[in-house]
Amino acid sequence: MSEPTTPGHDPRSRKKKGCLWFLIFLGVIIVLILLYLPMVIVCPGIPDAPRLRSRAAIKHLQAAITAYEIDSAHFPVPESDWHGPDVSLRTRGLILPILLGRKEAKALNPKEIKFIDLPMARDHKNGLWQEGNEWVLSDPWGEPYYLILDTNDDLEIANPEFGARASDPKQAEFDLKHPQPKMLPLTTAIYSSGPDRDSKTWQDNVCSWHTR
């Protein structure tokens, strides 16, 4: 016995609409798969979780250094380095207790302000750990980050990438067509040596002045 119909109500019409919405939903899913699949296959350089963690740590560290500089009118380094040539260092030693507001760095952070909150590392990777009495901040691959600070106050720092890739023919050719600037218009530069843990191979380095 067929389902009774009422004016303005057709069961067959309802079924057709249901099928139509299902086809639309299925079409959207297929389109999303087709859009995402080429990115996975063709673009192996999509940032993975360790690179994202490294980039996040670099941003937090950069913000903490800037906040300290605004509060103290100098960088979180010993007084002897405040007005000399630009300073290059790693994320280990005095700079970390200063930014963490620890008592052992009270001379350079007298108010003991905690400018950054860092996670503790696991297996000396992706966080804070101690080597003897020295604090170390490592990237996700177990290497301390690299820092360059504009302590001479000329609002620029030497680009560590400049001329660093000449030994790689492909990279040298690329840099010839797209030359790296000799100086960067920055007061702070931070970078990680990346998965290969070699700071001289720039293809996989994670840098504060790049979006990759």
How far apart are the C-alpha atoms of 23 and 88, rounded to whole Å?
A: 59
Specify the pLDDT at position 43. Answer: 40
Q: Considering the chain, what is the average pLDDT of its residues?
A: 85
pLDDT at 40: 43
Q: What is the pLDDT of residue 156?
A: 97
pLDDT at 159 over 70: yes
* DSSP class per residue in 105-145: GTTT-TT-------PBPBTTBSEEEEETTEEEEE-TTS-BP
pLDDT confidence of residue 42: 37
195 pLDDT higher than 90 = yes
**Res. 141: pLDDT tops 80:** yes
Residue 39 has pLDDT above 50, yes or no: no
How many whole angstroms separate alpha carbon 85 and alpha carbon 162?
18
Model pLDDT for residues 165-194, shown as the tens digit of each residue: 666 666 667 677 777 899 999 999 999 999
Beta strand pairing status for 206-207 and 188-192?
Answer: antiparallel
Tokens (6 digits) for 161: 């990438």
Average pLDDT over residues 193-201: 94
**Between 25 and 35, residue with greater pLDDT:** 25
Tokens at 75, concatenated:
């960088």
> What pLDDT score does 27 carry?
65
Q: How far from each other are the two terminal CA atoms of the chain, in whole angstroms? A: 66
The pLDDT of residue 168: 67
